[in-house]
Amino acid sequence: MNEEELNDDAEELFEKINIVCAAGQEPLRIDKFLMNRIESATRNKIQQAIEAERVLVNEHPIKSNYKVKPGDTIIIYDTKLPESANIIPENIPFKIVYEDDDILVIDKEAGMVVHPGSGNPNGTLVNAVAWYLKQQNPNINEADLARFGLVHRIDKNTSGLLVMAKTPKAMTHLAKQFFDHTVHRRYVALVWGDVVNSEGTIHSHVGRHQRFRKLFTTYPEGEYGKDAITHYKILEKFNYVTLIECRLETGRTHQIRVHMQSIGHPLFNDDLYGGDKIVKGTVFSKYKQFVENCFAICSRHALHAQQLGFVHPTTKKQMYFESELPEDMKALIEKWRKYSHH
227: annotated active-site residue: no
Supply the DSSP symbol for 313: T
Say which residue, 323 or 26, is predicted with more confidence. Answer: 323
Domain final residue pick, 61, 79, 97 = 79
pLDDT score at 13: 65
**271 and 310 within one domain:** yes
Q: How many residues does the chain have?
A: 342
Annotated active-site residue in 107, 155, 270, 328: 155
Distances in Å between the Cα of 341 and the Cα atoms of 68, 234, 243, 335 are 68, 18, 15, 10
Q: What is the pLDDT of residue 281?
A: 79
- Does one domain contain both 40 and 94? no
The residue type of 337 is R
Any idea what the Cα angle at residue 240 is, between residues 234 and 244, rounded to 5°? 20
Residue 257 has pLDDT above 90, yes or no: yes
Amino acid at 55: V
Contacts of 23 (CB under 8 A, 6+ apart): 70, 71
Higher pLDDT, 161 or 6: 161
Share above pLDDT 90 across residues of the chain, in percent, rounded to a whole number? 41
Whether 249 and 314 map to the same domain: the answer is yes
Domain of 164, in residue numbers:
3-11+83-179
Separation CA 152–CA 150 (nearest Å)? 6
Task: Say what the pLDDT of residue 323 is.
Answer: 97
pLDDT(10) > 50: no
64 and 95 fall within a common domain: no
Q: What is the average per-residue pLDDT within 281-305? A: 91
The total of other beta-carbon atoms located within 10 Å of residue 4's CB is 19
Domain boundary among 145, 163, 179: 179
pTM value is: 0.82
pLDDT tens track for 97-106 = 999 999 999 9
Task: List all residues 6 or more positions away from 300 whose beta carbon is below 8 Å from its beta carbon.
Answer: 110, 111, 157, 269, 328
Question: Do the Cβ atoms of 301 and 269 come closer than 8 Å?
Answer: yes
DSSP assignment of 247-283 equals EESS--TTHHHHHHHHTT-PBTT-TTTTTTS--SS--
Final residue of a structural domain among 160, 179, 198: 179
Residue 4 pLDDT: 37
Q: Are residues 243 and 335 in the same domain?
A: yes
259 and 116 assigned to the same domain: no
Q: Number of structural domains, the chain?
A: 3
CATH number of the domain enclosing 99: 3.30.2350.10
> 156 and 230 share a domain?
no
Taking the C-alpha atoms of residue 267 and residue 300, their distance in angstroms, rounded to an integer, is 10
Please compute the mean of the pLDDT values over residues 120-127 and round it to a whole number.
84
